[in-house]
Structure 1
Amino acid sequence: MATVVKIVPRTSRTQNLFEEQVGNELAVAQQYLAIAVWFDQRDLPRLASYFYRHSVKKRNDAMRIVQYMLDNNIEVEIPGVPAARNTFEDPRELIALALEKERAVTDEVTTLSQTLREDEDYLGEQFMRWFLTEQVEQVAEMTTMLDVMDRSQGNMFDMEDYLKRDPIGDDRNESAAPRTAGGTL
């Protein structure tokens, strides 16, 4: 006789917040994809590559949360995401938007972590620690990118040279990352 795994229906605010965070991460992944394409269409390969990689990282982060939910027999519904912004006046807007998105994700991850602590869900709180560390790095990285953009006064070739000379986003935190549902891309 086959064993049936009981899936826990969504009943707690933390379960709802986990699903919301999956949607938030996927929305940022889509936005980073749009940013990457914008840079790619303007023959800025290093900036395009940087944001293509970050799009995949955000997708993987969403799937880490999905895996946590699966591992804990929590029902998972993948939410839809809003349309990504595709129109920009100047390149600085793209980096500023990316920094804004990373700050928003940091706030969302912090709220989720705080809720887990309030609900005395210590396993969930432990799981979220990696995300908190990751967000500190992501905000710092995007802040640096915006600072370099401002110092270059919009010269995109200076930005390309910066990324060639000082590659950022080297996945230094990936070895401690939680498992990814479906495997890491």
Structure 2
Amino acid sequence: MISKKMTNALNLQMNREFFNSRLYLSMAAYFESINMPGAAKWMMAQSHEETEHAMRLYDHLRERGARILLAAIEAPPTKWASPLAAFEAAYEHECKVSREFDEHMALAQSEKDYATSIFLQWFVKEQVEEEASADEIVQKIKMIGDHKGGLFMLDRALGERQAKA
């Protein structure tokens, strides 16, 4: 049986993941508005992944017999000062999400909820990849600097991203 405290934590995280999906969708719209379709596609794929993350949490709660509580989703930001600022925001957000999953893992372990602990291991590993991916793009944009040609090439490369199956 999953505890009330763990249920509340996972419901909260599920709703956060739905917000995360909307955040990346908003970033996709931003990149479309500045004519960076590759970055928009990258962010759209990220948005889909975040929805999948929310549904993984939903399924775990359902399988454990917990009550699923959907909450109102706050509107995400819609503007960033630059492509760099948007990807820095994405990176910082992924670091925040990593800390959230670390807290959930600590709770699961403290409650000896081994099923949830095993379930959360996937998210902990996923967050390492998410942080690395966003940071890599931030570093590339910093390296490119004011060279529009480099940004154009990066945008093209970002457009090649395929959503995870």
TM over 0.5: yes
Partners of 2:56 and 2:118 in 1: how far apart? 13
Aligned pair 1:13/2:8, yes or no? no
Larger RCO (CA within 8 A; separation ≥ 6): 2
Aligned pair 1:65/2:57, yes or no? yes
Aligned equivalent of 2:38, options 41, 46, 53:
46
RMSD of aligned residue pairs (Cα, Å): 2.0
TM-score by length of 1: 0.81
TM-score by length of 2: 0.91
Aligned pair 1:28/2:28, yes or no? no
Judged with a 3 Å threshold, the aligned counterparts in structure 2 of structure 1 residues 15 and 93 are, in CA distance, closer, same or farther, namely: same
1:22–1:63 CA contact under 8 A, matched in 2: yes
Matching residue of 1:143:
135
Q: CA deviation at 1:170?
A: 6.3
Judged with a 3 Å threshold, the aligned counterparts in structure 2 of structure 1 residues 142 and 150 are, in CA distance, closer, same or farther, namely: same
Q: Amino acid of the residue matched to residue 147 of structure 1?
A: Q
Matching residue of 2:69:
77
Partners of 1:98 and 1:40 in 2: how far apart? 16
Q: Amino acid of the residue matched to residue 35 of structure 1?
A: M
Partners of 2:92 and 2:4 in 1: how far apart? 29
For 1:56-114, what per-residue CA distance to the aligned partner results, in whole angstroms no more than 9, with x for missing partners?
A: 10011001100111111110011222111012222211001101110011000110011
% identical aligned pairs: 18
Q: CA deviation at 1:155?
A: 4.4
Decide which moves more: 154-163 or 75-84. Answer: 154-163
Q: Amino acid of the residue matched to residue 153 of structure 2?
A: D
Matching residue of 1:5:
none
Which secondary structure does the structure 2 equivalent of 1:82 belong to? Answer: coil
Aligned equivalent of 2:83, options 69, 91, 100:
91
| Count of residue pairs brought into register by the alignment | 164
1:26–1:62 CA contact under 8 A, matched in 2: yes
Partners of 1:141 and 1:43 in 2: how far apart? 22
Bigger Rg over Cα: 1
- For structure 2, the 5+ residue unaligned runs are none
Partners of 1:34 and 1:165 in 2: how far apart? 20
Partners of 2:149 and 2:73 in 1: how far apart? 33
Residues 98-137 of structure 1 aligned to structure 2 (within 5 Å): 98-137=90-129
